[in-house]
């Protein structure tokens, strides 16, 4: 019921929605159009790791003015440091239902600023973070968006936080961009040429976002050290000798891209590993047996998957 009330108020112009807040900003208007197009496509794909991913997409889409079924709001989930997405979902719900809540003027302004940033910018970045080959270009585009985002107070805070994680935008990891279909042929030609460029003498610890300009290209990251990425991928890099326009037809490129897409580039795997260790810590008498136990449990989970006990019982009979 509360969602229907929000939609009625939004469509009737009775609430200060994003259209009215950002109507004087051309940059924000373009961000909204781009975000709506992405969110609509992402929702139609129905390929979401968990339900909260779909919920974040749907709330952002409705908040920005997208049309959709008035599904009931889910109850707020656990809110803690390990689940940033829960905070984003909670903030969007506060913004969408603030006419029915008792918030101070300062609280309303703060919620609105965060909700706009989540829906316009961060939702897409968050949703595509697990896609390894999109990571280099997404990081560059994200920094470019932050430089022109209307609310520079929020943008600078986001850029400062992002800059702490730019250590992985390195010469070696730039190899992921070779498999990104969004990068045009001419840029990929420059990237191939850059493979002959000498590697940096000093190991890159952190990329300074402020040094990146709107004309910054991914080929600037590529050096001879990038070739080590293909070696670690254990793939045939012979496709690099061909015109990038022909890569899609090359079986060596297809195999290398499949391997690159299989890389886990977010910390979900690490978090699951920590949870696994915590659960079975102390279950054995020696470190060696504990290692074998963890390997056995991990192998068993890969075989069985996420099926519940009742599902397995149904298969048995």
Residue whose tokens read 């935008």 = 169
- Look up residue 26 and give its two tokens: 């051309």
Q: Is the dihedral of CA 73, 34, 129, 17 positive or negative?
A: negative
pLDDT score for 312: 59
- Look up residue 209 and give its two tokens: 């976002």
Say how many CA atoms lie within 13 Å of 74 toward its Cβ.
14
Shared-domain flag, residues 116 and 213: no
- The tens digit of pLDDT for each residue in 112-136 reads 999 999 999 999 988 888 889 998 8
| Eight-state DSSP code of residue 79 | -
Shared-domain flag, residues 274 and 235: no
- Look up residue 313 and give its two tokens: 């019982």
Shared-domain flag, residues 66 and 47: yes
Query: Does the pTM of the predicted model rise above 0.95?
Result: no
Asked if residue 60 belongs to a domain, the reply is: yes
- The tens digit of pLDDT for each residue in 61-105 reads 988 888 766 566 777 666 655 567 888 888 898 888 888 888 888
Shared-domain flag, residues 117 and 214: no
Shared-domain flag, residues 90 and 198: no
- The tens digit of pLDDT for each residue in 171-214 reads 888 899 999 999 999 999 999 999 998 877 766 555 554 555 54
For residue 82, the surrounding DSSP H or E stretch is none
Query: Would you tell me how many other CB atoms lie within 10 Å of the CB of residue 101?
Result: 12
Shared-domain flag, residues 117 and 190: no
Which of 22, 66, 73, 78 lies closest to 42, judged by CA?
A: 66
For the chain, the domain total comes to 3
Shared-domain flag, residues 181 and 255: yes
- The tens digit of pLDDT for each residue in 297-316 reads 777 777 766 666 666 566 65
Residue whose tokens read 């009979």 = 317
Domain that holds residue 120: 2-128
Q: Domain boundary at 128, 154, 188, which? A: 128
């Amino acid at each position: 019921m509360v969602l229907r009330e929000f939609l009625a108020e939004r469509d009737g112009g009775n609430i200060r929605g994003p259209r009215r807040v950002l109507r004087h900003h051309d940059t924000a208007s373009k961000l909204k159009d781009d975000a709506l197009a992405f969110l609509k496509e992402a929702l139609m794909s129905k390929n979401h790791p968990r339900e909260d991913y779909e919920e974040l997409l749907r709330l952002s889409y409705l908040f920005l003015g997208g049309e959709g079924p008035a599904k009931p709001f889910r109850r707020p989930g656990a809110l803690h440091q390990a689940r940033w997405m829960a905070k984003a979902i909670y903030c969007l719900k506060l913004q969408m239902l603030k006419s029915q809540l008792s918030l101070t003027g300062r609280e309303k302004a703060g919620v609105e600023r965060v909700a706009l940033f989540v829906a316009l910018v961060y939702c897409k970045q968050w949703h595509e973070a697990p896609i390894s080959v999109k990571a280099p270009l997404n990081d560059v585009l994200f920094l470019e968006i932050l430089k022109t985002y209307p609310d520079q107070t929020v943008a600078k805070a986001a850029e400062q936080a992002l800059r702490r994680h730019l250590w992985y935008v390195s010469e070696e990891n730039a190899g992921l961009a070779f498999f990104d279909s969004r990068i045009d042929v001419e840029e990929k030609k420059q990237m191939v040429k850059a493979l002959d460029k000498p590697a940096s003498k000093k190991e890159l610890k952190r990329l300074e976002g402020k040094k990146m300009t709107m004309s910054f290209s991914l080929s600037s990251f590529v050096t001879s050290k990038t070739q080590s990425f293909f070696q670690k991928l254990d793939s045939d890099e012979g496709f690099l000798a061909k015109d990038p326009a022909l890569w899609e037809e090359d079986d060596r490129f297809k195999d290398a891209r499949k391997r690159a897409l299989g890389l886990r580039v977010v910390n979900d795997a690490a978090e699951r590993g920590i949870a696994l260790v915590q659960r079975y810590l102390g279950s054995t008498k020696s470190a060696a047996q504990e290692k074998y136990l963890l390997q056995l449990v991990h192998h068993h989970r890969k075989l069985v998957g996420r099926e519940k006990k009742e599902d397995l019982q149904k298969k048995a009979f």
